[in-house]
């Protein structure tokens, strides 16, 4: 996994609540057996019409929006457990997703792929949307070590939660499976104890 550093970037706002993983990556694109290439179909049915023409009003199709940060409405990533949603967002080039609320499984999946979910207050989220309405190149700084997010233009900041363990993993590029494989002796002892 890639190591995570501080990011300063403009962001792409999708001001819709309850964005479910079926929108992030529709089921018909889940037939691949590798992790790559899902970015092409990120938000497929919101991004393209049924003739495969880009829909001009969707933020990902608007040149004025760009950056490594995706900002979505409340309850982001609800629905299916498909990790493909996190793969699609990361594959598209995002490193951070900001929302005022994340679905649990999505949050785990994101963290397991080096994609940082940053949960902010409703008020802060609305400020982000308002800032990008005014200036689509408005920038956000996300500092994982300090657990801090800043709207650069105004200097407003908020702190966010992440478990100390997960932070360590992201900063160092470790993943859980390495940790578990190193714990094999303890797992076997646990099994032996239960029999």
**Site track 149-178 with other proteins (rule: CB under 8 A), x = hit:** --------------xxxx--------xxx-
- Selected from 9, 20, 58, 150, the binder of other proteins by CB under 8 A is 20
Distance CA 100, CA 124 (A): 8
Query: Whose Cβ is closer to other proteins: residue 45's or residue 148's?
Result: 45
Q: How many binding residues for other proteins (CB under 8 A)? A: 56
Q: Locate the DSSP E strands across the chain.
A: 7-14, 69-72, 96-99, 116-119, 139-143, 148-151, 156-159
- Selected from 10, 109, 132, 136, the binder of other proteins by CB under 8 A is 109
Q: What is the DSSP string of 136-160?
A: TT-EEEEETTTTEEEETTTTEEEE-
Distance CA 140, CA 155 (A): 9
- Least distance in angstroms from the C-beta of 7 to other proteins: 22
Distance CA 151, CA 9 (A): 10
Query: Per rule CB under 8 A, is residue 52 in the interface with other proteins?
Result: no
Distance CA 133, CA 165 (A): 36
Q: Please give the backbone phi and psi of residue 95, each rounded to the nearest 5 degrees, phi first.
A: -115, -20
- Least distance in angstroms from the C-beta of 8 to other proteins: 27
Query: Whose Cβ is closer to other proteins: residue 123's or residue 137's?
Result: 123
Query: Per rule CB under 8 A, is residue 180 in the interface with other proteins?
Result: yes
- Selected from 108, 127, 147, 150, the binder of other proteins by CB under 8 A is 108
Query: Whose Cβ is closer to other proteins: residue 50's or residue 56's?
Result: 50
Q: Based on C-alpha coordinates, what's the Rg of the chain?
A: 18
Cα 65 from chain centre: 17
Interface residues with other proteins (CB under 8 A) are 15-18, 20, 22-23, 26-28, 30-35, 45, 50, 73-75, 78-84, 86, 101-105, 108-109, 112-113, 122, 126, 163-166, 175-177, 179-181, 183-184, 186-187, 190-191
């Amino acid at each position: 996994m890639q190591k995570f550093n501080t990011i300063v970037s403009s962001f792409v706002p999708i001001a819709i609540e309850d964005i479910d993983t079926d929108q992030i990556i529709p089921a018909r694109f889940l037939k691949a057996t590798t992790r790559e290439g899902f970015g092409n179909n990120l938000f497929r049915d919101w991004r393209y019409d049924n003739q495969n023409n880009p829909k001009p009003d969707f933020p990902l199709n608007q040149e004025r929006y760009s950056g490594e940060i995706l900002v979505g409405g409340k309850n982001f990533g609800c629905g299916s457990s498909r990790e493909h949603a996190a793969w699609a967002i990361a594959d598209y080039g995002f490193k951070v997703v900001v929302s005022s609320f994340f679905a649990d499984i999505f949050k785990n999946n994101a963290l397991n792929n080096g994609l940082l979910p940053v949960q902010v207050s409703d008020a802060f989220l609305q400020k982000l949307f308002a800032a990008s309405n005014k200036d689509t190149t408005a920038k956000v700084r996300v500092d994982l070590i300090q657990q801090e997010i800043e709207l650069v233009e105004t200097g407003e900041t908020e702190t966010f939660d992440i478990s100390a363990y997960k932070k360590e993993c992201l900063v160092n590029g470790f993943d859980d499976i390495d940790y578990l494989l190193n714990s094999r002796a303890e797992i076997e002892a646990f099994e032996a104890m239960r029999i």
